[in-house]
Amino acid sequence: MVAGTIQVEMLESDIALLTLDLPDKSANVLSVQVLDELAAALDELEEQSGLAGLIVCSGKPGTFIAGADLREFAASLDAPPEQITALCRRGQELFSRLSKGPWVSVAAIDGVCLGGGAELACWCDRRVMSDAARTQIGFPEVKLGLFPAWGGTARAPRMIGLANAIELITTGESLGTRAALAMGLADDVAPPDQLMAAAVRLVRDEQQTRRYLRDRQSWQEPVAMDETELGFLGATASAAIRQQTKGQYPAPLIALELLLEAAGCDVWQACQLEAGQMPKLFGSPINRALLNVFFLTDRIKKDRGVDGPPLATREIRSVGVIGAGIMGRGIAAANIKRGVPVVVTDASADALAAGASEILREVSYRKETGRADVDRAVELAPLLNTCRTDQELAGCDLVVEAVVENADVKRKVLQRIEPLLRGEAVLASNTSTITISSLAAGLQRPDQFCGIHFFNPVRQMQLVEVIRGRQTSDQTVATAVAYAKRVGKLPIVVHDGPGFLVNRLLFPYMNESLELVCAGVPLEQIEKAAKGFGMPMGPLTLYDVVGLDTAFYAGRTMWEAFPDRIVASPLLPAMVKAGRLGQKSGAGFFRYDPGQKQGRADPDFQVLADRYTRERREYSLEQITMRLFLPMLLEATRILQEQIVRDARDIDLGLIYGLGFPAFRGGLLFWADTEGAERILEWLRPFEGLGTRLRPTELLREMAASGGKFYQQTRRAS
């Protein structure tokens, strides 16, 4: 039994304070036991005479309630529909007591208020939110393949309007305090240290005006909207959802249908409809996959990067970045956004000046206005120091090399910088393909050198690969992991090897798309298969975005490492020689009109491609899909066999956050576990004649024979 999660005390003689504080947890979550405790507390409060108000708050600074206990959700995925409906009804009936009590109920929200926590807050008569940047409220359930089912779809439309509720619930995006206030989801705003006083004022104000009683009555009634307006809203919202989800995520559309259907009902009928619809989604394959992604992310946030007893990590108080190109600028900006001072150096004065301007523009950009904030730029400018002398890096706790992807150039830079650094400083390379152990050759302290591979664009990509060279120490790895988290990234630890993890898995997929082109498969069919599987763009478009010259040189590294399964296609160098470099040159696999990122068919490409077409075969869309993704899966089994990662789940996290692998499939290995190794062997049989890259590995055969799962693979010792 959870003991002491909820404490009730008298804030004033007639105002009770109900505080949630889950013991031994960093955030409050709503488990069945916590709900039981809340029910018992409300029983006692309802029997107490003379109460004017009830204020609900959190005992954890920075977090109100993070949502429901998702581990309990996962344990109930196979529950029968009637049990799921009953669980929803139980939550609705419990939370609705906050809107029926003989007192004004106020949610005092400081920090994260999401999912079930937002539903609890919405059942209160009023909400006051702190003005701290961390404070937000929202319903992210669609990101788990669900919708709010403890009254969220019933209560929100009646409080903030149907259109606002549709946007909030079907996108799963959260609102900051000011946006919540403007929408009517919050009633007042206060600094964190004045939140309780503001909540008390709300209670006293409602005692006088009795507005909360009028709202209680109003929020029980159907949503006021005529049929024409309702139809227009439904059509426009449906079109927006279909465009966003591409039909691969059913929860937003089901939530929309529910919201529209329940608009004509009273709130209690709407709650019944909500509970009745939940079994359609709960426990579905997509719900299971998205829950897996949540657990992958949650696990990596807690992972220290090394196994065994906790290590004392070095504190990173200042960072040096060598190179003011695209990656160097992105890395510098990521640090400054988190308040970490940065020194940026570059051999080119022009590159340095342009880099500094771009860094300040990025760190001062405000999404709400769509432009840079001059005041913010002035505020953050002191954190950026640009210089052309190596000596300025001497005082940094961490220096990240981000120069051109050339091993000789990188070695020279690293060997030049290392002697200048303090004995405890960490030196790192942002290389994407070159092995860390080879770059460490000639360093005096290879144990304090590692890879910290940010992905481009740094501002958007959450993943960071922390690469352990042969001599990298545990403390260096743990320090790099802690640092990556500090700058808001999700770090996975990868043992050294060509392409590390993400690029090693990307190249079989990309390489196979070239082979399909040379087999006469139309470009649009290859792109359609990839996007139909769920990738954000097709592999040929990705080639054009990355740049054919960049892809050629990186591919050469991979071919040298794995010549048995990376085909040295003549098509790529021919395209580079012809000046078809992708978007940057206006032509690659597709042609790009000036200022356009969307490519179109180019007859000139087909003339070039025909010279390298070795065969012409008809492939179904399913066969194309298998040829694209099975080589990637087979490479993942080799990575497991070689113990490149510490846990099989790191592969899935890396692909989702590093390559945009479809989250609704749960990850590459989760998808494979769902399909089963025996079925994958069947898919491979027609392609085995194509060579090693499409032949089953020993691990896959073993798993098919034993019925094993990839997620059961053991961790590698650090």
Instruction: Give the position of tokens 């149907």.
Output: 162
Instruction: Report in angstroms the alpha-carbon separations of 239 from 163, 244, 339.
Output: 14, 9, 41
Query: Under a CB-based contact definition with an 8 Å cutoff, are residues 61 and 110 in contact?
Result: yes
Which are the contacts of 229, defined by CB distance < 8 A and separation ≥ 6?
none
What is the number of other CB atoms lying within 10 angstroms of the CB of residue 221? Answer: 11
* CA–CA dist 711, 718 (Å, integer): 19
| Integer Cα distance of 282 and 280 in angstroms | 6
Alpha carbon distance 671, 610 (integer Å): 35
- Interacting residues of 20 by C-beta distance below 8 A, sequence separation 6+: 5, 6, 28, 34, 56, 57, 58, 59, 65
The C-alpha angle with vertex 462 and arms to 509 and 295, in degrees rounded to 5, equals 85
Instruction: Give the CA-trace dihedral at 22, 27, 29, 35, to 10 degrees.
Output: 30
Q: Please list, in sequence order, all residues whose beta carbon lies within 8 angstroms of the beta carbon of residue 188, skipping any fewer than 6 positions away.
A: 126, 127, 128, 129, 181, 198, 201, 202
H helix intervals, 184-312: 195-209, 211-218, 227-245, 251-262, 267-277, 285-302
| Phi then psi dihedrals of residue 239, to 5 deg | -65, -40
Residue for token pair 């939550």: 91
Instruction: Return the residue matching tokens 């794995």.
Output: 562
The separation between the first and the last C-alpha atoms of the chain, rounded to the nearest angstrom, is: 36
Rounded CA-CA distance 586/689 in Å is 37
Q: Count CB neighbours of 258 within 10 A.
A: 23
The per-residue DSSP string of 666-696 comes to T-HHHHHHHH-HHHHHHHHGGGGGG-GGGS-
Burial classification of residue 451, based on how many CB atoms lie within 10 Å of its CB (0-12 exposed, 13-18 middle, 19 or more buried): buried
What is the number of helices (H) and of strands (E) in the chain? 30, 22
Q: Exposure of 517 by Cβ count < 10 A (0-12 exposed, 13-18 middle, 19+ buried)?
A: buried
Query: How many other CB atoms are found less than 10 A from the CB of residue 253?
Result: 17
Q: Cα angle vertex 216, ends 215, 217, to 5°?
A: 90
Neighbours of 558 (CB within 10 A): 21
CA distance 345 to 357: 14
Structure-token pair, residue 246: 């591409």
453 is catalytic: yes
The side-by-side arrangement of strands in the sheet containing 449-454 is 384-387, 342-345, 319-322, 398-401, 426-429, 449-454, 463-468, 490-495
- C-alpha to C-alpha distance for 442 and 411, rounded to whole angstroms: 8
Contact 461, 455 (CB under 8 A): yes
∠ Cα 630 669 487 (to 5°): 115
The tokens for 2 are 């959870």
- From the list 155, 453, 489, 495, the catalytic residue is 453
Which residues are the active-site residues? 453
